[in-house]
Chains A and B, each alone.
Chain A
Amino acid sequence: MTLAVFFGCTFIAFGPALGLFLFTIARDPLRIIILIAGAFFWLVSLLLSSLIWFIAVKASNPQDESLQKGLLIFGVMFSVLLQEAFRFLYYKLLRKAIEGLVALSEDGCSPISIQQMAYVAGVGFGLMSGAFSMINLLADALGPGTVGIHGDSQLYFLTSAFMTMVLIFLHTFWGILFFHGCEHRRWWEITAVVVMHLAVSGSTFCNPLYVGSLVPSYLLMATAAAWAYLLSGGSAQNLRRFLLCLRSGASPQPAS
């Protein structure tokens, strides 16, 4: 466990998110506030779900292994559902905020659209989720020790970093999908997000059989990415134009 591992895992886990933050969020103060508020909402959901799990554990027999395992599974699922519930609450809050911004703006339109808010909220959720999963690991990576010396997987840090990265991305895309579903009253989009989240969290139960957790998560991420891209107004033509750097008519870059 060296500085190399520390920096490597940090940048694997948070590099893309940092890029997203720097290029799309850092310039606009309103987006930064929405990001931090999103992180706060995720934090509150985690707090409540930890409370429930803590009470359940304290009320149960600590010797009973299978019960504890069952409680853990219950805790994870409940936490996922609560996160999505708070995402919905955050959506409601942002809707109200947009109405406020519209009312107070000069030209009757809000300085930020609900789609941008959805994206930023997703990044906020993702960053906080990733930070809570990864920061303690990174701090330990700086210290002495050997990974997997007791027979566990030696790839613990690396896979954790990759899992964190995929989760951050997934939260971003889920934010877009969720808010779109709420906006247009498409309940199946919302359910799809919840189901995907449950699937990703459930797949981590396969760990340390990483092929069972990382591969499905990345596939789900690709699906969610494509879906979010299409919902945000992207299309195959846009992508082609962007990749080929064409400038005929419409701008090749997708609107941020």
Chain B
Amino acid sequence: MITFMNNSDSEEEPCNERTSLMSAESPPVPSYQDGLQPSEAGEVQAHRKRRTGSSRSPNNIADGNMSDSGVPVREGTLENEEEELTLKYGAKHVIMLFVPVTLCMIVVVATIKSVRFYTEKNGQLIYTPFSEDTPSVGQRLLNSVLNTIIMISVIVVMTVFLVLLYKYRCYKFIHGWLILSSLMLLFLFTYIYLGEVLKTYNVAMDYPTLFLVIWNFGAVGMICIHWKGPLQLQQAYLIMISALMALVFIKYLPEWSAWVILGAISIYDLMAVLCPKGPLRMLVETAQERNEPIFPALIYSSAMMWTVGMAKPDTAARGPSQQTWDAAEDGREDHRSPSHTDSQMSETRSPVPTRPITSFEELEEEERGVKLGLGDFIFYSVLVGKAAATASGDWNTTLACFVAILIGLCLTLLLLAVFKKALPALPISITFGLVFYFSTDNLVRPFMDTLASHQLYI
């Protein structure tokens, strides 16, 4: 989902790093508290919208308006400006998501095409116990459906467990869980990946060097992801761990099960995000009620943020500096310029910060960023990687799936701008991806092969 919601679903392994509640450590921005008290009245609906808004700026802007519900007179003009902002920034946000998704897919496809380890059959996860080595098609189909059911149930159980933990404020437990899973991803999976890459290219590396490299990579990764670090480094690490996770799935999920699981998880995503009692929806609502940032470490944030923030922005000083900055931006920021007396405005600017440190300008900038759950990255890459691995060496299929996923993402963002509520990012992209995979592999490939053999061009 295009909010952080999808992070917490699809938790296949107990120590899967998918959600993080760094909010346990990060205090809410004090400067906002002043602004928040008077707006408590409008909070409930504001929170419902703010939940969605926390992940992409059009919705953040939408939230600004929703939280203005206490001041209806401004609603009209702000609506228009909000729409402008939505579209003005719409294209930029789409590209801000295209780039990391593309990078993740490129890493996965490059690895799949070059390192044979990830396409070798070497056992299966315990979550997919049924083997697909049966001779009959019906049996194979049945096994893959059973595998899917088991996998999805595991995911649902994990998500519900996580939501319960969060609801009952077991932050330490969640925190520990997440640290453990990032440790595993950053150290163990990276070690395996590096080992396989070195084997593929027949490069020798001694253990001390290996230890140094892995240690540095992992330690910096832990710090960047869970604490502070330059935004781009954090983004790079998130992309890398998504790619690693996707590679694990591609290796260990049997073929038919993988496709059925992809389909099933899009349906699950759709339900978990849009149904009123969906676990993800409840999770975000709870976080919004508590006014805590949700899972900052496991959402990909494309916001342009300053790296080391100012600890406690001086409320008096930030007003004018904010305005000058705004003026530099676009000159239409009047309705958004903060005045600390303006409670509604300050409320808009307390969406989910990705970093515990907050400075006013940071969050202002951050609003214009977009956030996408790592689960989405992972499943997009699984789809494209599986296409690269199993489409009989055909690059056209991979390319077609890639374009299909990007267009799905674009459409999802468009729908987001239209509906201004949380939307799952998986369904449209995965549907397009699946349709294009099967049709390109079975219909387009013979056509293009025939054309190529006669050197015909269309």
- Using a CB–CB distance below 8 Å, which chain A residues touch chain B? 28-30, 32-33, 36-37, 39-40, 43, 46-47, 49-51, 53-54, 57, 72, 75-76, 79-80, 83, 100-101, 104-106, 128-129, 131-133, 135-137, 139, 156, 159-160, 163-164, 167, 200-201, 204-205, 207-208
- In the complex, chain A residues whose CB is within 8 Å of the CB of B403: 36, 39-40, 43, 128
The answer on a CB contact under 8 Å between A32 and B98 is: yes
Interface size of B in residues (CB-CB distance below 8 Å): 39
The reply on B201 being an interface residue by CB < 8 A is: no
The answer on a CB contact under 8 Å between B87 and A101 is: yes
Min CB–CB distance A145 → chain B (angstroms): 14
- In the complex, chain B residues whose CB is within 8 Å of the CB of A135: 395-396, 399
The answer on a CB contact under 8 Å between B444 and A46 is: yes
Interface majority SS (helix, strand, loop, mixed), chain A: helix
The reply on B152 being an interface residue by CB < 8 A is: no
**Measured between alpha carbons, how far is A47 from B438 in the docked complex, in Å?**
11
Further pairs besides A33-B91, A204-B456: 13, Cβ < 8 Å: A33-B94, A37-B407, A43-B404, A47-B436, A50-B443, A50-B448, A54-B446, A72-B454, A100-B87, A104-B83, A136-B394, A136-B396, A163-B457
Q: Known contacts A47-B443, A47-B444, A136-B452: does B457 contact A105 (CB below 8 Å)?
A: no
The reply on B92 being an interface residue by CB < 8 A is: yes
Min CB–CB distance B303 → chain A (angstroms): 16
The answer on a CB contact under 8 Å between A29 and B448 is: no
**Measured between alpha carbons, how far is A37 from B395 in the docked complex, in Å?**
20
- In the complex, chain A residues whose CB is within 8 Å of the CB of B393: 139
What 0/1 readout, one digit per residue, does chain B (368-405) give for beta carbons within 8 Å of chain A? 00000000000000000000000001111001100110
A-contacting residues, B317-370, CB 8 Å: 332
The reply on B451 being an interface residue by CB < 8 A is: yes
The reply on B440 being an interface residue by CB < 8 A is: yes
Min CB–CB distance A152 → chain B (angstroms): 9
- In the complex, chain B residues whose CB is within 8 Å of the CB of A207: 454-456
**Closest chain A residue, CB of each to CB of B394:** A136
**Measured between alpha carbons, how far is A137 from B94 in the docked complex, in Å?**
32
The answer on a CB contact under 8 Å between B457 and A29 is: no
Min CB–CB distance A166 → chain B (angstroms): 9
A-contacting residues, B406-458, CB 8 Å: 406-407, 410, 436, 439-440, 442-444, 446-448, 450-452, 454-458
- In the complex, chain A residues whose CB is within 8 Å of the CB of B95: 29, 32-33
- In the complex, chain B residues whose CB is within 8 Å of the CB of A57: 446
The answer on a CB contact under 8 Å between B451 and A106 is: no
Q: Known contacts A50-B447, A132-B399, A136-B452: does B458 contact A79 (CB below 8 Å)?
A: yes
The reply on B25 being an interface residue by CB < 8 A is: no
Q: Contact check: which of A29, A75, A105, A160 meets B455 at CB < 8 Å?
A: A160
- In the complex, chain B residues whose CB is within 8 Å of the CB of A75: 447
Which of B83, B404, B406 is packed against the most chain A CB atoms within 10 Å? B406
The reply on B120 being an interface residue by CB < 8 A is: no
**Measured between alpha carbons, how far is A133 from B455 in the docked complex, in Å?**
9
Q: Known contacts A32-B95, A37-B407, A75-B447: does B83 contact A136 (CB below 8 Å)?
A: no
**Measured between alpha carbons, how far is A129 from B86 in the docked complex, in Å?**
33
The reply on B40 being an interface residue by CB < 8 A is: no
**Closest chain A residue, CB of each to CB of B400:** A43
- In the complex, chain B residues whose CB is within 8 Å of the CB of A83: 458
- In the complex, chain A residues whose CB is within 8 Å of the CB of B13: none
Which 9 pairs, one residue from A and one from B, show the smallest C-beta to C-beta distance? A29-B95, A29-B91, A207-B455, A50-B447, A30-B91, A135-B395, A50-B443, A50-B444, A79-B458
The answer on a CB contact under 8 Å between A72 and B450 is: yes
The answer on a CB contact under 8 Å between A204 and B440 is: no
- In the complex, chain A residues whose CB is within 8 Å of the CB of B314: none
The answer on a CB contact under 8 Å between B458 and A129 is: yes
Q: Known contacts A40-B407, A160-B455, A201-B458: does B84 contact A105 (CB below 8 Å)?
A: yes
Which of A36, A51, A53, A208 is packed against the most chain B CB atoms within 10 Å? A36
The answer on a CB contact under 8 Å between B447 and A208 is: no
The answer on a CB contact under 8 Å between B87 and A53 is: no
A-contacting residues, B75-95, CB 8 Å: 83-84, 86-88, 91-92, 94-95
